[in-house]
Amino acid sequence: ETGVTQSPTHLIKTRGQQVTLRCSSQSGHNTVSWYQQALGQGPQFIFQYYREEENGRGNFPPRFSGLQFPNYSSELNVNALELDDSALYLCASSSPIGQSFSTDTQYFGPGTRLTVL
Amino acid sequence: QKEVEQDPGPLSVPEGAIVSLNCTYSNSAFQYFMWYRQYSRKGPELLMYTYSSGNKEDGRFTAQVDKSSKYISLFIRDSQPSDSATYLCAMIVNRDDKIIFGKGTRLHILP
pLDDT tens by residue, A27-72? 778 889 999 999 999 999 999 998 899 989 999 999 999 999 998 8
- Contact, B8 vs B104, CB < 8 A? yes
pLDDT tens by residue, B19-33? 999 999 999 999 999
Q: What is the pLDDT of residue B1?
A: 67
Rounded to 5°, angle at Cα B25 from B21 and A111: 65
Q: With contacts defined as CB-CB under 8 Å, which chain B residues touch A109?
A: 43
Strand segments, DSSP code E, in chain B are: 4-6, 11-14, 19-25, 32-38, 45-51, 54-58, 61-66, 71-76, 85-92, 100-101, 105-110
Q: With contacts defined as CB-CB under 8 Å, which chain B residues touch A94?
A: 96
Pairing of strands A10-13, A31-37: unpaired
Residues 6-65 in B contacting A (C-alpha not used; CB under 8 Å): 6, 8, 32, 41-49, 51
Chain A nearest-CA distance from B62, in A, is 15
Q: What is the pLDDT of residue A29?
A: 83
B103: contact with A, CB 8 A cutoff? yes
User: Which of residues A100 and A13 earns the better pLDDT score?
Assistant: A13
Question: How many CA atoms, within 13 angstroms, populate the side-chain half-sphere of residue B50?
Answer: 21
